[in-house]
Amino acid sequence: MSIDAYRWQMNKPSAPFERVAFGANPTSGEVVVAIAGCGVCHTDLGYYYDGVRTNSALPLTLGHEISGRVVAAGTGAQGWLGKAVIVPAVLPCGECDLCQRGLQPICRSQKMPGNDIQGGFASHIVVPGRGLCEVDEQRLASIGLNLAQVSIVADALTTPYQAVRRAGVTPGSLAIVIGAGGVGGYCVQVARAFGAQVVAIDVDDEKLAAIAAHGASLTLNARNHDAKALKAAVSAFAKQNGLRNTEWQIFECSGTAAGQLSAFGLLVHGATLSVVGFTMDKVEIRLSNLMAFDARAMGNWGCPPEYYPAALGLVLDGKVQLAPFVEEHPLDSINQVFPAVHHREIKRRVVLTPAA
């Protein structure tokens, strides 16, 4: 089977992604997915623009937010043939000690498309069959979505879903989401679906206005508030709405140094700080604040495949909206799309779709 892919080539600034074709067949336990769509994630931009290293040597096909249809399968995976699926952004082995103890995100044999293995900016991809998430296309169509659009569930939705779940968000919680973009916007919606009152913080009024219509009860532009004023505004909101002024659940989704500093500055007694976004920048903080507030901070790396159906269920039930925040572009436009996303000329999550 031939795979038509855009591989990231080093030292080619005019066209960093070069179209190539190569053959691939599934081995035991593997499947071939004909890709419907692959989302462009901040992490993909980090590989190209910010010096974030991939685990696999270059050249490499990037892309880890993938949906499509299984068109070939190796021994033991034939049950997936013909099914519409979402490919988890992080595929744990499912067999090691860490996986057996429920620690799939730190599985040392995990496979991440576009990092450990060839990714989804291609016509097809070969991945392990274990952990795929089946998509009910009839139900998807009934809410006006197509298979390509739900590719972003593989990371932009499931990663904040895992963060919200681990942080223990429940009805009556006050959730604060910093960064209302591709991941943060879905974090707002997921936290609201879990019953929280949500405060969204960003530096882009357009993004704040969009998320105000989809789950944020209060929006704050960080450019208009210093750290003290930001915390005071959230405290006032909590008081006005009968929410606790302790145990706030803070989700840093911006992947910026400024966002991380804002997040740390919002710590209160018993708070949970979840780091969801990634940046290569460094910040200076006083870790003793965690001790003084009896607070906790945790990182979030992907989402175990077992939680994908529940995350997708929020979309199918209408509790999380995808369409207003996604736009499709042809895969052949990848060399124009990457700089456009990097320079924030495109506000919504881009899904690249291969030619039919």
Find, among 96, 105, 114, the residue nearest to 276 by Cα.
105
* 125, 25 contact by CB (below 8 A): no
CA-CA distances (angstroms) from residue 4 to 1, 82, 308? 10, 20, 28
Which CATH code, of 3.40.50.460, 3.10.20.600, 3.40.50.2300, 3.90.180.10, is assigned to 2-155+303-353?
A: 3.90.180.10
28, pLDDT greater than 90: yes
Domain ranges across the chain:
2-155+303-353, 158-299
CA 155 from chain center: how many Å?
Answer: 3
Q: Strands 326-330, 249-252: parallel, antiparallel or unpaired by DSSP?
A: unpaired
- State the number of CA atoms in the 13 A half-sphere of 121 facing the CB: 29
335, pLDDT greater than 80: yes
11, pLDDT greater than 90: no
Alpha-carbon span 130 to 215, nearest angstrom? 33
Contacts of 250 (CB under 8 A, 6+ apart): 175, 176, 178, 263, 266, 267, 271, 272, 273, 274
Cα angle, residue 23 at apex, residues 20 and 27 outer, rounded to 5°: 140
pLDDT for 13 equals 66
> Helices (H) and strands (E) in the chain — how many of each?
11, 16
Instruction: State pLDDT tens for residues 193-208.
Output: 999 999 999 999 999 9
14, pLDDT greater than 90: no
The encoded tokens of residue 309 equal 């159906």
7, pLDDT greater than 80: yes
pLDDT for 12 equals 67
Look up the pTM and report it.
0.95
The encoded tokens of residue 278 equal 């990634």
The residue-averaged pLDDT of 1-28 equals: 86
pLDDT for 40 equals 97
pLDDT for 2 equals 84
Contacts of 146 (CB under 8 A, 6+ apart): 36, 140
Instruction: State pLDDT tens for residues 90-106.
Output: 999 999 999 999 999 99
The residue-averaged pLDDT of 19-48 equals: 94
Q: Is there a shared CATH topology between the 2-155+303-353 domain and the 158-299 domain?
A: no
* 22, 81 contact by CB (below 8 A): no
The encoded tokens of residue 32 equal 């071939």
Alpha-carbon span 348 to 207, nearest angstrom? 9
pLDDT for 356 equals 75
pLDDT for 216 equals 98
The residue-averaged pLDDT of 97-125 equals: 97
pLDDT for 182 equals 87
Task: For the domain made up of 158-299, give the CATH fold.
Answer: Rossmann fold (3.40.50)
Instruction: State pLDDT tens for residues 143-177.
Output: 999 999 999 999 999 999 999 999 999 999 999 99
Q: Strands 65-73, 84-87: parallel, antiparallel or unpaired by DSSP?
A: antiparallel
Alpha-carbon span 10 to 285, nearest angstrom? 35
Max CA pair span of the chain:
61
Sign of torsion over alpha carbons 202, 204, 209, 211: negative
The residue-averaged pLDDT of 118-125 equals: 97
Cis peptide bond upstream of 59, omega within 30: yes
The residue-averaged pLDDT of 321-325 equals: 95
